[in-house]
Chains A and B, each alone.
Chain A
Amino acid sequence: MKIYVCCKQVPDVAMTIQIKDGKFISEGMNYVLNAYDASCVEEALVLKEKYGAEVTLVLIGDEAGKEALRKGLAMGADNAFHISDPALNNLGSQAAAKVLQAFFKGRDFDFILTGKQAQDSDMGLAGGILSGLLNLPYVTNAVGLDVQDKMIVVKRQGDEGVEVLHMPMPSLITCSNDMNDPRIPSLKGIMASKKKPMEQVSLTDLGLSADEVLKESQKSSLKSFGLPPARKAGAKIEGDAQTLVATLMEKLTKEAKVL
């Protein structure tokens, strides 16, 4: 089996996000593998261990993207493609899907996994657009994967419960981070990841021009960033059970007015 996982690098949520004049300050930020994509890598590795497979990572991004790819390789993926070009900075979902379409053209694979969204933008669009451009069967929000009789068995979280779908190969599946608990890369894995193949791919390699990408990117554009309002301090209620309930009831009815 050949499994491709499309990854994205996102700012480390453990760090303080800084925004100035509506712009995100990227200097000094650490970039990490998107948690939804980490779940895809984990699931691909589980299938690899179960049935045998080659797990390949693909990422569009600058130098910081290499770190996210190395994390996936350290987890156990076999190889990676790093699509990098100055014209590919701050890509919108439409443009990213267009670039990936060019990447997958002529490639042989059984299925493509990608996170159902990225932790930074939470757009959740690239997977769907890519499936359309590649004309692939598509399912969203997977919470479990298996393979039976050359079909991909996808458990997806629907509105009213878990649905089970059988998808043909090749297909594109977007995955939830509820699907699994991604493994922590061991130090051995981290050191081994340096020796795994990571191929650099340019726009020229993909037969695309910067103008084409720019045109796609301009279909939607991000105007500004803002921080959510700071959370107000909470209140600690103390006393015995009777006092706690009485105080809470009073706060809910008179202060919050939700009862």
Chain B
Amino acid sequence: MNVEFNQDQKLMQQSAREFAEKFVKPVAKKLDDTQEFPVELIQRAAELGFMGVAIPEEYGGAGMDSLSYTIMMEEIARYCGSTSVILSVNNSLVCGPLLKYGTEEQKQKWLTPLAKGEKLGCYGLTEPNAGSDCAGTKTNAVDKGDHWLLNGAKIFITNGSHADTALVFANTDPGKGNKGISCFIVDMKSPGFSVKPMHGKMGIRASGLSELVFEDVKVPKENLLGELHKGFKIAMTTLDGGRIGIAAQAIGLARGAFEEALQYSKERVQFGQAISNFQAIQFMLSDMGMKIDAARLLTQKAAWMKDMGQNYNQQASAAKLYASEIATWVTNRAIQIHGGYGYTNEYNVERYFRDARVCEIYEGTSEIQRLVVAANLLGR
């Protein structure tokens, strides 16, 4: 594994950084305040090719590698958690499985517009009673001969409010638990498909979080993704890839808060000197920087293993687990360095803290990640 980026990756980093500084940074606070989905920003991101980074050019993507994708995620999350997770869902959770499990026709019809950013995707796995426990999926799809009939509901669906295409996991063999789950590509304009925006989140407030409701939604037979009853495997392998993106997002959020704290410590004067002169602050800064570096290396290793075609299940979980936990810690320390000001929305660090916190929960809680790592260590 080479720790220095190649030319493609360096140029990607420059483009993502320029985009983030020019377009994301100025609106990040407003997005959090208003909870409005950043339609224009996502259109700009699409024009630059950020919606299908690691998807081959023949399917409308940029044809770059997973490491490049983590670079983009970090640069954008450095300023805005909402914007980065919107990109993450489209790239990892929707385009990723369509590329891996889709037929050629499905790739042409569904993947290409999603990777180009002409359409937006969402990932319908979580239900009120089925989060970490995928086997509890209640949404069901019944074979009606020439189509599937979909009924049920999904919650906490990022991009739901503005997406065009949903990957929906549904029970196709009740009583079989994980072995009875299948994945469907669903056009969100289908009759019987409705979306209810969800508000009141602590962070990542502009990600179009929604509830998806299916009432007798007819899904064409050819929209089954992968094999029948093999949806659980699709969901789990998709989340492996998604976890690399969430790890990179957590690093970006931690870095954003760290940079603000570093700057603030040089400017804030107490007892007649900048607070960066005090060891108490220096120790915090040094631990923050160190943890961010460690998380980044772990994440880049997972991405590199994916690019090499190796099994990266353990590394993706370890990276996501470590990066999300240090992001909570680092953003919390950033508030501490800001003192009372850090507890107000006059500064960005409280937003970084709120945005970072969910990284320990979504796309597999920290507890699930520990189980995955342990299962790999114990060979189970």
The chain A residues found within 8 Å of chain B, CB to CB, are: 14, 30, 32, 66-67, 70-71, 74, 184-188, 190-191, 193-194, 233-236
6 A-B pairs with least C-beta separation: A187-B49, A187-B62, A233-B274, A186-B48, A190-B11, A184-B18
Residues of B with C-beta under 8 A to A66? 7
Question: Main SS of the interface on chain B?
Answer: helix
A190: chain B residues at CB < 8 Å are: 8, 11-12, 15, 62, 64
- List chain A residues, Cβ under 8 A from B227: none
Of residues 45 through 84 on chain B, the ones whose CB sits less than 8 Å from some CB of chain A are 47-50, 53, 57, 62-64, 68
Contacts of A186 in B (CB 8 A): 15, 47-49
Closest to A181 in B: B22
Residues from chain A with a CB closer than 8 A to the CB of B17 are 14
A184 contact set on B, CB distance < 8 A: 15, 18-19, 22, 48
With contact pairs A14-B17, A233-B267 given, residues A187 and B22 touching in the complex (Cβ less than 8 Å) = no
Query: Can you list 22 pairs linking A and B with CB atoms under 8 Å apart?
Result: A70-B11, A184-B19, A186-B49, A187-B12, A187-B48, A187-B49, A187-B53, A187-B62, A187-B64, A188-B49, A188-B57, A190-B11, A190-B12, A191-B57, A191-B63, A191-B64, A193-B11, A194-B8, A233-B266, A233-B267, A233-B269, A236-B269
Complex Cα–Cα for A184 and B50 (A): 12
Query: Nearest-CB distance from B151 to chain A (Å)?
Result: 39
B268 at the interface (CB under 8 A from A): yes
B9-53 interface code vs A (CB 8 A; 1 in, 0 out):
011101101110010000000000000000000000001111001
* A185 x B269 contact (CB < 8 A): no
Which residues on B sit within 8 Å (CB–CB) of A235? 269
CA gap between A70 and B68 in the complex, in Å: 16
Whether A234 and B267, one on each chain, are in contact in the complex, defined by CB atoms closer than 8 angstroms, is yes
Question: Is the beta-carbon distance between B266 and A187 smaller than 8 angstroms?
Answer: no
Q: How far is the CA of A190 from the CA of B65 in the complex (A)?
A: 13
Residues of B within 8 Å of A188, CB to CB, are: 49, 57, 62
List residues of chain A with CB within 8 A of the CB of B53. 187
Asked if B273 is an interface residue, CB under 8 A from chain A, the answer is: yes
Closest residue of B by beta carbon distance from A28: B4
Q: Taking CB as reference atom, which chain A residue is nearest B266?
A: A233
Is the pair A67, B7 in contact by a Cβ cutoff of 8 Å?
Answer: yes
17 new A-B contacts at CB < 8 Å, known A185-B15, A190-B11:
A14-B17, A30-B10, A32-B14, A70-B11, A184-B15, A186-B47, A186-B48, A187-B15, A187-B48, A188-B49, A190-B8, A190-B12, A190-B15, A191-B8, A193-B11, A194-B8, A236-B269
> Smallest distance from the beta carbon of A18 to chain B beta carbons, Å?
16
The interface of chain B, by Cβ under 8 A from chain A, is 7-8, 10-12, 14-15, 17-19, 22, 47-50, 53, 57, 62-64, 68, 266-269, 273-274
Closest Cβ of chain B: how far from A193's Cβ, in Å?
8
**Would you call B10 and A67 a contact (CB within 8 A)?**
yes
B52 nearest in chain A by CB position: A187
What are the residues of chain A within 8 A of B14 when measuring CB–CB? 32, 71, 185
User: Which chain A residues border B8 with CB–CB below 8 Å?
Assistant: 190-191, 194
The smallest beta-carbon distance between A33 and chain B, in angstroms, is: 9
* B274 x A185 contact (CB < 8 A): no
A contact residues around B274 at 8 Å (CB):
233
- Residues of B with C-beta under 8 A to A187: 12, 15, 48-50, 53, 62, 64, 68
Instruction: Tell me, in angstroms, the Cα distance from A209 to B241 when the chains sit together.
Output: 54
Chain B, residue nearest A73 (CB): B11
Chain A min CB distance to B83 (Å): 15
Residues in A whose Cβ lies below 8 Å from that of B50: 187
CB neighbours (8 Å) of A234 from chain B are: 267
- Residues of A with C-beta under 8 A to B63: 191
Q: Are A74 and B273 in contact (CB under 8 A)?
A: no
Nearest CB of chain A from residue B291's CB, rounded to whole Å: 19
Question: Nearest residue in A to B72 (C-beta to C-beta)?
Answer: A187
Among A70, A184, A187, A236, residue most surrounded by chain B Cβ atoms (within 10 Å): A187
**A184 vs B22: C-alpha distance in the bound complex, in angstroms?**
10
Contact (Cβ within 8 A) A185 B11: yes
Query: In the complex, what residues of B have CB within 8 A of residue A67's CB?
Result: 7, 10-11
For residue B276, which residue of chain A has the nearest CB?
A233
Alpha-carbon distance between A235 and B270 when the two chains are bound, in angstroms:
10
- For A70, A191, A194, the residue with the greatest tally of chain B CB atoms inside 10 Å of its CB is A191
Q: Chain A residues near B269: list those with CB within 8 A.
A: 233, 235-236
Q: How far is the CB of A187 from chain B (nearest CB, A)?
A: 3
CA of A67 to CA of B12, assembled, Å = 11
- Bound together, the chains give a CA A67 to CA B15 distance in angstroms of 13
> In the complex, which of the residues A14, A71, A233, A236 contacts B11, with contact meaning CB atoms closer than 8 Å?
A71
Instruction: Given A186-B49, A233-B268, A233-B273, verify A191-B62 contact (CB < 8 Å).
Output: yes
Q: Which residues of B contact A30 (CB under 8 A)?
A: 10
Query: With A and B bound together, what is the CA distance between A74 and B18 in angstroms?
Result: 14
Which single residue of chain B is at the shortest CB-CB distance from A234? B267
**Most interface-central of A66, A184, A185, A186 (chain B CB within 10 A):** A184
**Closest residue of chain B to A193, judged by CB?**
B11
- Shortest Cβ distance from residue B54 to the other chain A in the assembled complex, whole angstroms: 10
Chain A residues contacting B268 (CB-CB under 8 Å) are 233
A70 to B14, CA, bound (A): 12
**Measured CA separation A191–B50 after assembly (Å):** 13
- Cβ distance A57 to chain B, nearest Cβ, rounded Å: 14
Roughly how many angstroms separate A190 CA and B62 CA in the complex, as a whole number?
Answer: 9
User: B12 — which chain A residues lie within 8 A by C-beta?
Assistant: 187, 190
